[in-house]
């Protein structure tokens, strides 16, 4: 160690006044490294995390109710945290909570059958249909409001129309709707609070959203879970990628959210977001 320090001193400039900035920089780097190491050591630990959507799928396959099943696992000490992803349209359709129809399919049905079944009447609500439209029908009014709000943020009023009977028309390609997130299930947060589980939020990127839109989403998230929440990107990109990362990071800081940096799977923009957040980053 002594030889290392002597060698380091020999590398410094001969003039003593020129050594001062270098020594200051070295001291700051050392302090930052020690502080970071201590911070990660203090937060070290391992916990078993179960994803809410996986729990629902497993419970449905086994013919069981998801919440009692989760309670048993928590009581046995098998689960300590709950990961909550945004609802996706394919999942909502599979669960029977949303009926998703294309305008072209509806118009073809009308042309062939020469009749208008009750479902088609419910979809149209008396309005004309578009072959380019996608139509979402649901019975749950709260879910309808949540999906409609996310669609308006993403596509605007010119491409989203309220058809009545809790049905929505969106002028978009099917793949544009399929990969989007439609907000979080309030039930999942209630269950996590009831069972005293820590929450990991999985948030999808949406390049259509601006900084203010992300701010609205994060504020809504904090209202559902006022405790400090760990946010992990869902998918191959972090939220805000590629142009809104810095602004998204500021919105996270304002809402007291920490970023979970996935160590064994690189996500586009993850290093840039982690650099912006500094000590609000956890390795997961």
Q: From the first residue on, what is the mean pLDDT of each consecutive set of 10 residues in the chain (284 residues)? A: 55 55 61 54 64 90 91 92 93 92 84 61 72 93 93 94 89 93 92 92 91 89 81 93 93 91 89 90 86
Could you tell me if 57 and 172 are in contact, meaning their C-beta atoms sit under 8 angstroms apart?
no
DSSP SS3 for 168? strand
DSSP SS3 for 219? helix
Instruction: Name the pTM for this structure.
Output: 0.76
Nearest-angstrom CA–CA distance, 84 and 185:
8
Q: What is the pLDDT of residue 39?
A: 46
Nearest-angstrom CA–CA distance, 166 and 170:
13
Dihedral pair phi/psi, residue 241, rounded to 5°:
-70, 140
């Amino acid at each position: 160690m002594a030889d290392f320090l002597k060698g380091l001193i020999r590398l410094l400039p001969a003039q003593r006044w020129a050594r001062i900035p270098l020594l200051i920089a070295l001291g700051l780097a050392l302090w930052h490294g020690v502080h970071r190491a201590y911070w990660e050591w203090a937060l070290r630990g391992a916990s078993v995390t179960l994803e809410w959507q996986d729990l629902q799928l497993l419970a449905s396959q086994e013919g069981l109710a998801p919440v009692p099943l989760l309670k048993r696992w928590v009581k046995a000490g098998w689960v300590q945290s709950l990961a909550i992803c945004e609802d996706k349209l394919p999942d909502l359709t599979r669960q029977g909570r949303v009926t998703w129809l294309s305008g072209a399919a509806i118009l073809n049905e009308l042309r062939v059958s020469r009749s208008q079944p009750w479902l088609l009447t419910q979809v149209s609500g008396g309005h004309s249909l578009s072959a380019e439209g996608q139509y979402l029908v649901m019975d749950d009014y709260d879910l309808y409001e949540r999906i409609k709000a996310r669609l308006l943020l993403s596509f605007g009023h010119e491409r989203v129309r309220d058809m009545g009977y809790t049905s929505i028309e969106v002028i978009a390609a099917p793949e544009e709707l399929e990969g989007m997130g439609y907000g979080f299930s309030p039930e999942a947060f209630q269950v996590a609070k009831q069972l005293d589980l820590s929450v990991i939020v999985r948030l999808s990127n949406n390049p259509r959203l601006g900084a203010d839109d992300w701010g609205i989403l994060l504020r809504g998230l904090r209202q559902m879970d006022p405790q400090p929440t760990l946010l992990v990107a869902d998918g191959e990109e972090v939220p805000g990628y590629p142009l809104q990362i810095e602004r998204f990071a500021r919105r996270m800081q304002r809402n007291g959210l920490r970023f979970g940096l996935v160590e064994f799977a690189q996500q586009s923009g993850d290093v840039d977001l982690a650099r912006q957040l500094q000590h609000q980053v956890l390795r997961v």
